[in-house]
Amino acid sequence: MQQNTRENKMGTKNINSLLLSMAIPMMISMLTQALYNVVDTMFVSGLGQDALTALSLAFPVQNLMIAIGVGTGVGTNALLSRSLGEKNFAKANKVAANGLFLSIVSAAAIMLLGVLFSKPYFDSFGASSAVAEQGSGYLSVCMLFSIGLFGQTMYEKLLQSTGKTMLSMIVQLSGAVINIILDPIMIYGYFGFPKMGVLGAAIATVTGQIVALLLAIIINRRYNRDITISKFDVLKPDKEIIKRIYSVGVPSICMASIGSVMTVCMNQIMRIFGAATAATGQAVFGIYFKLQSFVFMPIFGLNNGMVPIVAYNYGAKNKERIKKTIKLSIIYACAIMVIGFSLFQLIPEKLLMLFDTGESDMKNIIAIGVPTMRYISISFLFAGYCVVAGSVFQAMGKGVLSLIVSVCRQLVVLIPVAFLLAITTRDITYMWLSFPIAEIASITLSVIYMRRIYRTEINVL
């Protein structure tokens, strides 16, 4: 068959042009996703601070769902790309089928959790009845219809693993654009639709995801000739392949899940400062995560272009192409982070005003938010290298190293330091200095592990 003889571009094309050709479409799609996140929150902020706080508290659970989907996709991507590099096309097909099986199982588990735990989750923060009602309704819809998120994410990873990042970009753009269009219609009740508020934002979100999933299925069947997925393979999971997918995927899931745990812990720590300050701080923290996605999403897109190149050439035992890909990725990532740092330092108030609630407490959001943005963004100067290093570890099948770095940064260092700063200073703004302190620990470990990877994995090829 043709797929058994054709040489993939990841083994032949000039590295810089290859990396850019694969990364730029993903960076554009990630930026569009970031734009959706911001626009979504901007529309909801018009409903008042309660609605904004509801979305901020829902964010860790949404992040957990994304972590499971992306982590499973990353594991599938790395194993599939390596199989293609080894010219083992039969195995590549089975890897793709098992990835789809895991997405279906993940969606079913999230649906069950959504039915049982949405309301108790908000009650655990001591949220007001208005916040809990809006937030639990939003979260329930997102969890019950999570098949769109999990299916879309997996199909995107299948396209990325075979180097078709332009098609992956089209899929992701379609979902994000539909979300952006539907948000004001569903939230405020335009064009004859009922005004549904925060619930409307959830419906717009899942609608975009499901449409993107359907488009992704069509594109994969029509254009992704490197893999052939049999429905019988999807229904017959392979334990060994699943184990290898999760050897990379579980550390990735845990890393992103740790981010959810960190966010929950930070929201709980803020209760030290009293209910009013905590509510404002939680709203600010939610705004920060929306804004920082504009900085981190392009780097995640860069990594999505980098991982299949590294994995493919690792399977093909071409160390020089691996080294050059890593070097260029680090340079581009650090440059993006410097730009993000500059914006957060120079115009934090203007960034916060994008989410004007139209209420008197916007002054409190600005008062807490400006120093928050400036303190946290110091960590950007170190994060570029760390994010790329973590993806390199995953591409090389050493995802546990990424997990160790993430645990140390967000749990071992960040949370204890934030708690100590909170109880000693009694000023909510100073607790955010925990972010750059934790990132220093992260870059130290990342450098140590990267040197080990070069010595034990790359240089011996």
154-192 pLDDT per residue, tens: 998 888 777 787 888 888 888 888 988 999 999 998 888
Burial group, residue 455, by CB count within 10 angstroms (0-12, 13-18, 19+): exposed
Query: Residue 192 — φ and ψ, nearest 5°?
Result: 85, -5
Q: What is the DSSP string of 351-362?
A: HHGGG--SSTTH
pTM of the model: 0.72
Structure tokens at 87: 């010219």
More confident residue, 449 or 303: 449
Question: Per mean pLDDT, which of 55-64, 395-404, 416-425 is the most reliable?
Answer: 416-425
pLDDT at residue 267, as a whole number:
86
Residue matched to tokens 């493919």: 312
User: Can you tell me which residue has the tokens 């396209």?
Assistant: 159
For residue 5, what pLDDT is reported?
A: 45
| pLDDT per position as a tens digit, 88-114 | 888 888 888 898 999 999 999 999 998
The one-letter code for the residue type at 79 is: L
Q: What confidence score (pLDDT) does residue 52 get? A: 81
Q: Per-residue pLDDT for 271 more than 90?
A: no
- Is the per-residue pLDDT at 72 higher than 50? yes
Residue 1 has pLDDT above 80, yes or no: no
Q: What residue ranges do the domains of the chain occupy?
A: 8-458
pLDDT value at 75 more than 70: yes
b/e per residue, 311-337, with b = 16+ CB within 10 A?
Answer: bbbbbbebbebbbbbbebbbebbbebb
Which of the listed ranges 37-46, 82-91, 169-178, 416-425 does the model predict with the highest average pLDDT? 416-425
Q: CA-CA-CA-CA torsion for 451, 452, 454, 460, nearest 10 degrees?
A: 150
**What six digits make up the tokens of 339?**
């730009």
Q: Are 244 and 315 spatial neighbours (Cβ–Cβ below 8 Å)?
A: no
pLDDT at position 126 is 72
Which among 292, 288, 251, 296 has a CA at the least distance from the CA of 270?
288
Question: Residue 298: its pLDDT value, please?
Answer: 87
First to last CA, the chain: 29
At a CB cut-off of 8 Å and minimum separation 6, what does 217 contact?
151, 155
Q: What is the pLDDT of residue 358?
A: 65
Kindly tell me the sign of the dihedral angle through the C-alpha atoms of 38, 147, 103, 107. Answer: positive
Q: Between 160 and 430, whose confidence is greater? A: 430
Which residues, 6 or more positions from 69, have their beta carbon under 8 angstroms from its beta carbon? 103, 106, 149, 150, 153, 154
